[in-house]
């Protein structure tokens, strides 16, 4: 018979990271909604868990799925990148980005949110939450190699997105 | 070589450089361990900073340490195993999610830490009633509840409002008996019978272990009565502090003898 820790312990340990993961993935407003969805879904499934290994991975797997559901509900037309202002072009844009750092951050975060789900989750787990590839793999339910590949593909895509946006 | 910020020598890693960009400006501290040879080029630190800014600016800080006991100020937060309380906005998010889960019937054990003159008590309730009054660390009490009642243990102060009010009244001297639904599932068999009998001992009176043994029809069972008191899941509310050794010695108490003395003096049942 499996002994699960009190659900409270999961909240205490992971609520802050969970919230940050969701905000990074879908923004602050929808992140708050997703946060509730994840907690409710996790509590619903919790007593039925067959084992207590890697509860963090389990929790973030639910979070990943909720983010995917969320994107589906929003529809694919509303990708945050589409809401960005038109890049004024070439050197001007580079100059603007250099001068206004937080604006540049905004572009970058928007680009992260526009990544395909697995790549986005992999990049956020790796670079916001400082998780190992093993942890990323647990969240995505894939091998460590595949996790590494998702991070790599995410970074490449980010690079491409930003290059296209900023330097036509 | 970098796309976004080619001229700044101090920030060679800021741009999401082209493929193969080794990113000499992104030194060790930027990465959680070795990113590995296959990790593509850079902007990792910049990426980290951007995500960090986007999530800390909009979001709450990490849980901060807090003293035991929820009090009013921290009523929205969960008390961490180490005694930390999820603060501010995160606390509100967690509280809102917990309330929604409760409304959907997903919280089997609601708990709160409550400050009293004898220290912080961990109070826990099921849908049946008050199931646990715990002295000492939340962590151990909650782990025990998870193992013996249900792992769906969540901080929900509101479900314990009536209990907290009656405890406050008791400790202020205005209440001599509790009128609360109780969930006695943590006691069984003879111990449960002893606890039921214990509930008949009124405020300000004391009995001996032997008295309770006799009243439950087992005059030789003082030792078993002692065990029932020691494992009482609902101290204060089921008044095991009113049980003394024959001859007047105090006997033991789960919350510590000083607490037993405090309670007996509070009830006028002990001189001094």
Quick: pLDDT tens for B168-215: 999 999 999 999 999 999 999 999 999 999 999 999 999 999 999 999
CA distance A157 to A153: 6
| pLDDT confidence band for B60 (50 / 70 / 90) | very low
| pLDDT confidence band for B229 (50 / 70 / 90) | very high
| Averaged pLDDT for residues B15-35 | 40
pLDDT of B8 > 70? The answer is no
Question: Any CB–CB contact under 8 A between A98 and chain B?
Answer: yes
B-interface mutation test, from A8, A40, A137, most B Cβ less than 10 A away: A8
Q: Is the CB of A11 less than 8 angstroms away from the CB of B78?
A: yes
Q: What is the pLDDT of residue A1?
A: 67
Q: Which of B90, B234, B236, B240 is catalytic?
A: B240
Choose among A28, A25, A12, A132: nearest CA to B98.
A12
| Averaged pLDDT for residues B127-153 | 95
Q: B140 to chain A nearest CA, in Å? A: 10
Q: Which residue has the tokens 């602050």?
A: A28
Where in chain A does DSSP place strands (E)? none
Q: Is the CB of B5 less than 8 angstroms away from the CB of A94?
A: yes
Buried b (16+ CB within 10 A) or exposed e, B185-198: ebbeebbebbbebb
Nearest chain A residue to B61, by CA: A16
Question: Any CB–CB contact under 8 A between B47 and chain A?
Answer: yes
B240 is annotated as an active-site residue: yes
Q: What is the pLDDT of residue A43?
A: 98
- Residues A63 and A34: beta-carbon distance below 8 Å: yes
| pLDDT confidence band for B57 (50 / 70 / 90) | low
Name the token pair of B185. Answer: 């599932």
Q: Is the CB of B100 less than 8 angstroms away from the CB of A28?
A: no
For residue A116, with 0-12 CB atoms within 10 Å meaning exposed, 13-18 middle and 19 or more buried, which class applies? Answer: middle
Q: Is the CB of A155 less than 8 angstroms away from the CB of B16?
A: yes
Choose among B155, B137, B3, B263: nearest CA to A94.
B3
Name the token pair of B235. Answer: 């101290």
ipTM for the complex? 0.81
For strand B130-135 and strand B84-85, is the pairing parallel, antiparallel, or unpaired?
unpaired
pLDDT of B235 > 70? The answer is yes
| Averaged pLDDT for residues B70-93 | 55
Q: What is the pLDDT of residue A164?
A: 59
Question: Any CB–CB contact under 8 A between B62 and chain A?
Answer: yes
Report pLDDT digits (tens) over A84-110.
443 434 333 333 333 334 556 788 888
Choose among A43, A42, A81, A46: nearest CA to A65.
A42
Question: Any CB–CB contact under 8 A between B83 and chain A?
Answer: no
| Segment 136-155 of chain B within 8 Å of chain A by CB | 139, 142-143, 145-147, 150-155
| pLDDT confidence band for B87 (50 / 70 / 90) | low
* Mean of pLDDT over chain A: 83
Q: Is the CB of B58 less than 8 angstroms away from the CB of A23?
A: yes
Between chain A and chain B, how many beta carbons pairs sit less than 8 Å apart? 184
Nearest chain B residue to A39, by CA: B97
Is residue B90 classed as helix, strand or coil in its secondary structure?
helix
Question: Any CB–CB contact under 8 A between A41 and chain B?
Answer: no
Residues paired with residue B64 on neighbouring β-strands, in sequence order:
B85
CA distance A50 to B186: 24
Least trusted range by pLDDT, from A137-151, B71-85, B248-262: B71-85
Q: Which residue has the tokens 């080029």?
A: B41
CA distances from A127 to B19, B40, B43, B45 (A): 18, 13, 11, 8
Report pLDDT digits (tens) over A49-84.
999 999 999 999 999 999 999 888 877 544 444 444
| Averaged pLDDT for residues B119-146 | 95
Q: What is the pLDDT of residue A99?
A: 36
Which long-range contacts link B206-215 to residues 24+ away (Cβ below 8 Å)? B206/B242, B206/B243, B206/B244, B206/B264, B206/B269, B207/B242, B207/B243, B207/B244, B208/B243, B208/B244, B208/B245, B208/B246, B209/B243, B209/B244, B209/B245, B209/B246, B209/B251, B210/B246, B212/B243
Name the token pair of B43. Answer: 């902007």
Name the token pair of B177. Answer: 């008996």
| Averaged pLDDT for residues A18-42 | 95
| Segment 212-271 of chain B within 8 Å of chain A by CB | none
Q: What is the pLDDT of residue A46?
A: 98
pLDDT > 70 fraction of chain B, expressed in percent and rounded: 73
Is residue A93 classed as helix, strand or coil in its secondary structure?
helix
CA distance B182 to B30: 54
Nearest chain A residue to B141, by CA: A6
| Averaged pLDDT for residues B36-45 | 52
pLDDT of B13 > 80? The answer is no
| Averaged pLDDT for residues B66-89 | 46
| Averaged pLDDT for residues B128-137 | 93
Question: In chain A, what residues touch B98 (CB-CB under 8 Å)?
Answer: 11, 39
Question: Any CB–CB contact under 8 A between A126 and chain B?
Answer: yes
Q: How open is the CA angle A107-A33-B89, to the nearest 5 degrees?
A: 85
Choose among B157, B90, B96: nearest CA to B122.
B157
CA distance A86 to B213: 84
Q: What is the pLDDT of residue A74?
A: 79
Q: Is the CB of A126 less than 8 angstroms away from the CB of B32?
A: yes
Report pLDDT digits (tens) over B141-172.
999 999 999 999 999 999 999 999 999 999 99
Name the pTM for this structure. 0.79
């Amino acid at each position: 018979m499996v002994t699960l820790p009190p659900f409270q312990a999961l909240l205490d340990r992971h609520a802050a990271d969970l919230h940050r993961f969701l905000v990074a993935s879908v923004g602050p407003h929808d992140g708050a909604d997703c946060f509730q969805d994840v907690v409710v879904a996790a509590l619903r499934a919790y007593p039925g868990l067959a084992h207590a290994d890697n509860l963090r991975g389990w929790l973030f797997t639910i979070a990943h799925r909720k983010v995917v559901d969320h994107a589906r509900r929003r529809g694919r037309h509303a990708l945050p990148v589409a809401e960005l202002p038109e890049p004024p072009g070439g050197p001007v844009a580079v100059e603007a980005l250099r001068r206004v750092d937080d604006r540049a951050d905004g572009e970058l975060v928007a680009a992260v949110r526009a990544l395909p789900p697995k790549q986005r989750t992999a990049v956020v787990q790796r670079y916001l939450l400082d998780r190992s590839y093993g942890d990323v793999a647990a969240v995505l339910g894939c091998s460590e190699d595949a996790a590494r590949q998702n991070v790599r593909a995410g970074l490449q895509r980010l690079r491409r997105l930003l290059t296209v946006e900023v330097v036509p | 070589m970098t796309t976004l910020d080619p001229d700044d020598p101090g920030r060679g890693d800021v741009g999401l450089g082209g493929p193969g960009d080794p990113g000499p400006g992104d030194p060790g501290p930027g990465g959680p361990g070795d990113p590995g040879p296959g990790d593509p080029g850079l902007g990792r630190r910049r990426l980290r900073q951007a995500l960090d800014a986007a999530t800390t600016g909009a979001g709450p800080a990490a849980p901060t340490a807090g003293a035991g006991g929820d009090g009013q100020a921290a009523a929205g937060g969960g008390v961490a195993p180490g005694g930390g309380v999820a603060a501010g906005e995160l606390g509100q998010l967690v509280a809102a999610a917990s309330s929604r889960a409760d409304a959907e019937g997903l919280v089997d054990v609601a708990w709160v830490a409550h400050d009293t003159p004898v220290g912080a008590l961990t109070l826990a309730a099921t849908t049946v009633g008050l199931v646990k009054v715990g002295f000492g660390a939340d962590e151990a009490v909650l782990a025990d509840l998870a193992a013996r009642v249900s792992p769906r243990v969540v901080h929900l102060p509101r479900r314990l409002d009536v209990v907290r009010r009656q405890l406050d009244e008791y400790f202020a001297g205005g209440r001599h008996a509790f009128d609360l639904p109780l969930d006695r599932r943590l006691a069984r068999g003879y111990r449960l019978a002893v606890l039921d009998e214990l509930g008949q001992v009124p405020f300000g009176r004391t009995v001996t272990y032997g008295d309770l043994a006799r009243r439950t029809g087992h005059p030789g069972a003082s030792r078993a009565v002692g065990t029932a008191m020691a494992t009482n899941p609902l101290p204060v509310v089921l008044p095991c502090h009113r049980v003394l050794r024959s001859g007047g010695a105090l006997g033991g108490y789960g919350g510590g003898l000083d607490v037993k003395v405090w309670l007996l003096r509070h009830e006028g049942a002990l001189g001094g």
